[in-house]
A and B are shown apart, each in its own frame.
Chain A
Amino acid sequence: MSQAKNNIMIETLKNSYTPAIVGSILLLIFGRVLSKGFLSINNISSILMMTSILTMASIAQAAVIISGDSGLDMSIGAIMSMTALFGPMIVLQSEGASVAVMVIAVIVMGGMVGLINGIGVQFLKVVPLVMTLIMSSVVNGFSIFITKGQPAVSVNDALLGISKQLVGPVRILSAIVIILLVLLEVFFLRKSNYGRSLFLVGNNTNAANLCGINSKWVIIFAYVFAGAIAGLAGLMLVGYAGTAQMNMASSYTMLSVAAVVIGGTKLTGGKGTFIGGALGALVLILIATILQALNMVAGLRSLIQGVILIAILMVNSRAPKLRQ
């Protein structure tokens, strides 16, 4: 009985990934046609690294979206920028220890913002879109306030080391993210009690409550989780880029939403995967890189990105006919 269930689950999962996988392959081929060096190890590794960071952002976003009730987190970019600015400020005796403390610090920072988001959404009943949007404004203002515009310190070498090569096109950063992705998907989302409650709550809050699940806290924790992961993503971003600037991660917010949707998660909640978000991130980064390689004028690039996104949405994400 459970074997059959597993098979069905695998089948449905495969189905929602197919567009993203097919799209990525097509894009890779197209890129190779455009420019000889596209499939070179260097290029692939830089694509993988950028995808890794976007994947972290989309994991955060996916958790919130799955929690349902039109859940959305528009503060992910702001949280990333904030931890990118503050993280490297932590300096200890040993560089390795610094990084360890940094990781904990950014998770806590991001988590706190997430907590505020969650409380606003659940207790104050502010719609997630607006709550997180305004928090992003507050977080950005806070970042400016604390750093006075000048991120004070340079990034220590241990953190910069995530860009070092591991094997082939895979760098340390990409490896870390891939491992995290699989761990979170399997242990956090699918197998844990929390994961199951998350899906139930996302599907139907009332029913979940009747089953004895405290939906309020499930949802709040989703936001805390999202904030923590976004915080971590910000630290990775500054490790990759080597410096931090204000608002450097602002584009990640909407990109994470797009990535999650392309990967097959429904915006209405209750269904979705982290891996789908990662695939969506890959597609988006490939599109951006190809457009860059084509050396197009900025306006035309935006235009094409928008058109591609609409096309994907029209194929992938239509709500069912009302007649049902």
Chain B
Amino acid sequence: MKKRIISIIIVVSMIATLVTGCGSGDSTKNATTESTDASEEGFVIGFSNGYWGNTWRAQMVEDFEARCEEYKEDGIIADYMVSNTESDATEQLNQINAMIDAGVDALIIDPVSPTTLTSAVQSALDKGILVVIGSDPAAYEGTYCVCGNDAAFQSILTTWICEKLGGKGNIVSITGEAGVGTDILRQDAAAEILAKYPNIKELASVPGRWSETEAQSVMSTYLSTYDNIDGVLTQDVMAEGILKAFENAGETPSLMTGDTVKSFLTTWSEMDDFDSIGVTYTCGFICTVLDVAVGLLQGEELNESALVANPYDKNLKNTIMLDPTYVVTREGDQDAVWMEGHDLSKAITLDKALEMVADKADTNFLDGWLSREEVAEAYFK
């Protein structure tokens, strides 16, 4: 009897937490009753984000929410829901199920892993919900995929470093998180390019897991194991950790691929003998994903020629690949060897890039995305 009293008191306090949480969140963000009357009142969009561990992802969610607010003001979107998980495939499934049950019109999913979504996608499609896989690719029949072009991203970086080395030298590679789709695609692209430069030797390749600290530790080990490193091939989010490793070892890096975080760009501009390149894999891609989803919900049709084969399933032509928005080098050369075949990417100088992030926090990534009009023109009929 007394036990029951305690339990009830405590459960009531839990509910109180929930209710207060509800209230203290944005007051407009409650699961609304109008959600299922789609076209008149506005759509409800659900966004399930599969990785939450770094600032890139946080910026992406921010960009998404800002764009949703724009749509809300125009009355096109009635409400939106965002959920995040820390690479937990089962939790993502739970979150997607919850969104399906809450009655969303479209689901945008950034998958934890490209292969774990089958049941969720199936239930969503069964209920007539539009499913768009965003940012990180995955292949499912009946869905659309709007993702960054990882292959283009990595080939620009790899071609740059091979060219700068004059086709000859030793490099070490630091990759992303083993097992994640993006990482696999990038490694394949890098391998393809490296095969074209037979005199470039890759001494080692270790995952840096898109973490500055991990990259720092890996680079430290590299520096003590190899004394003939001519260049470092890496990807986003890790450049500063690598610089730190060099600094701690009392050495200066001469050549490495970098990223587009403001603090790295600042450090780069302060080092005269240092050459690097930053390619944006912009957080803002998610805005384009949202634009495509909204367009489809409004009944627009996609331009057939804009669709290419899905990176995970060559037979499925459901993908819009977004080329890197900006390529940052000191010279900003649009016609360089590494820009070949990537006409939609804009080459900009380091100074211009710094201008663009001048008033942002140090951890901010150089961002930029197509406007709604540009998306409509490029991808829709």
Contact = CB atoms under 8 A, between A and B. Distances in A.
B178 interface: yes
Interface stretch (B207-215, B305-313, B328-336): B207-215
B55 A42 contact: no
A245 B224 contact: no
Contacts of A237: 213
Interface stretch (A8-16, A222-230, A262-270, A287-295): A287-295
Interface size for chain B: under 10, 10 to 19, 20 to 34, or 35 or more residues?
35 or more
Given A37-B225, A149-B57, A154-B263, A242 B363 contact: no
B58 A148 contact: yes
A158 B257 CA distance: 28
A152 interface: yes
A104 interface: no
Nearest to A163: B248
A298 B53 contact: no
Counting chain A CB atoms within 10 Å of each CB, the highest count among B57, B218, B221, B362 belongs to B221
B221 A245 contact: no
B207 to A, nearest CB: 6
A298 B263 contact: no
Contacts of A37: 223-227
B58 A149 contact: yes
Interface stretch (A43-51, A113-121, A203-211, A276-284): A43-51
Contacts of B244: 163, 241-242
Interface in B50-85: 52-55, 57-59, 61-62
B225 A152 contact: no
Contacts of B263: 154, 243
Nearest to A46: B220
Contacts of A149: 52, 55, 57-59, 61-62
11 contacts: A38-B224, A43-B223, A50-B217, A150-B364, A163-B247, A241-B213, A245-B212, A248-B213, A292-B221, A293-B221, A295-B206
Given A38-B225, A241-B241, A246-B53, 15 more contacts: A37-B224, A37-B225, A46-B220, A46-B224, A46-B248, A50-B217, A163-B244, A171-B248, A241-B212, A241-B213, A242-B240, A245-B54, A246-B54, A292-B217, A293-B225
A151 interface: yes
A150 B248 contact: no
Interface in B25-63: 52-55, 57-59, 61-62
Counting chain A CB atoms within 10 Å of each CB, the highest count among B53, B86, B207, B248 belongs to B248
Nearest to B210: A245
B47 to A, nearest CB: 14
A144 interface: yes
Contacts of A289: 221
Interface in A270-324: 289, 292-293, 295, 298
Contacts of A152: 361, 363
A214 interface: no
Nearest to B203: A295
A293 B172 CA distance: 12
Contacts of B54: 245-246
Contact of A241 (B216, B218, B226, B249): B216
A128 B380 CA distance: 58
B52 A242 contact: no
A42 B223 contact: yes
A45 B53 CA distance: 28
Interface in B219-245: 220-221, 223-227, 240-241, 244-245
A26 interface: no
Given A42-B250, A295-B204, A246 B52 contact: yes
Interface of B: 52-55, 57-59, 61-62, 86, 178, 204-207, 211-213, 216-218, 220-221, 223-227, 240-241, 244-245, 247-250, 263, 361-364
A17 to B, nearest CB: 26
A305 to B, nearest CB: 15
Contact of A45 (B204, B205, B206, B248): B248
A300 to B, nearest CB: 12
A201 to B, nearest CB: 29
Counting chain B CB atoms within 10 Å of each CB, the highest count among A43, A45, A242 belongs to A242
A128 B218 CA distance: 34
A150 B224 contact: no
Interface in A218-268: 237, 241-243, 245-248
B45 to A, nearest CB: 20
Contacts of B362: 153-154
A228 to B, nearest CB: 22
Contacts of B220: 42-43, 46
A278 to B, nearest CB: 19
The list of the 6 closest CB pairs from A to B, nearest first, reads A149-B58, A43-B224, A37-B224, A154-B362, A42-B249, A46-B220
A91 B225 CA distance: 38
A151 B221 CA distance: 27
A35 interface: yes
Contacts of B207: 298
